[in-house]
Amino acid sequence: MSATGTEEVAGADGSARKAAVRDGLGVGLAVGLSGLAFGAAAVTAGLTVAQACVLSLLAFTGASQFALAGVIGGGGGLVSGTLGAVLLGGRNALYGMRLARMLDVRGWRRLATAQVVIDETTAVATAQRGDAAARAGFYTTAISLYLTWNSTTLLGAAGAARLGDPEAIGLDVLGPAVFLALLWPRLAAGRREVRVALAAAVIALAATPLLPPGVPVMLAAVAAVPALLRKEAKA
């Protein structure tokens, strides 16, 4: 390859990395602001400000955190809430398998990277062209989102705690509302997703009067099994 050709490739790679960084910052800052909602919802559910902050630091997966807060707020136990959160977070393991070759991390960095393998970092990384741009997008999203999410969790939790009784001004609906907002875009993916969501809702509603809080949510996951089996059979 000529010197001119090498320079063009290097320039293209640099432009791709800059675009990936911009994407990562945009997603990280925008999504991170929803930590305000989680912090408020967690305190409304009965968690302390410290517990809400530790949950964001260690769990760092929005849907699972909202699910846990929702179960606890509904009167469920910590075990059932944690199992539901782990079930939702299980998808991140699949993301890790997809990203392993692309990110190519070794040693202690693998553990640190696994902590930030979530929906947003995966989406930004896989949208890039080339592994270098993918890594730039992944780590930019991870760092900006982690810092913003944890900062806003503290602000939201501390603010809700100062209100005294968040339910008095309707903050008790904040958790379910945000969780629905997280779910809604996935329903636009196709009819199969809508059918699974409807079946899960029916199972959860039918089981709610019979089972302890938190258990119906885990039981509703059974609705996804037929769809997964059909997808596997087609593959």
The tens digit of pLDDT for each residue in 126-148 reads 888 889 999 999 999 999 999 99
The tens digit of pLDDT for each residue in 52-78 reads 999 999 999 887 888 888 778 777 777
- pTM, rounded to two decimals: 0.71
pLDDT tens for each residue of the chain, 235 residues long: 554 444 444 455 778 899 999 999 998 988 888 888 889 888 888 899 999 999 999 999 887 888 888 778 777 777 767 777 777 777 788 888 889 999 999 888 999 999 999 988 998 998 888 899 999 999 999 999 999 999 999 999 998 877 765 555 555 555 556 556 556 656 665 677 778 878 888 888 888 788 766 567 667 767 766 765 665 455 5
DSSP annotation string for 97-145: HHHHHHH---THHHHHHHTT-SHHHHHHHHTSSSHHHHHHHHHHHHHHH
Tell me the C-alpha distance between 71 and 187, whole Å: 22
Distances (CA, A) of 207 to 33, 37, 74, 80, 110: 34, 28, 14, 14, 40
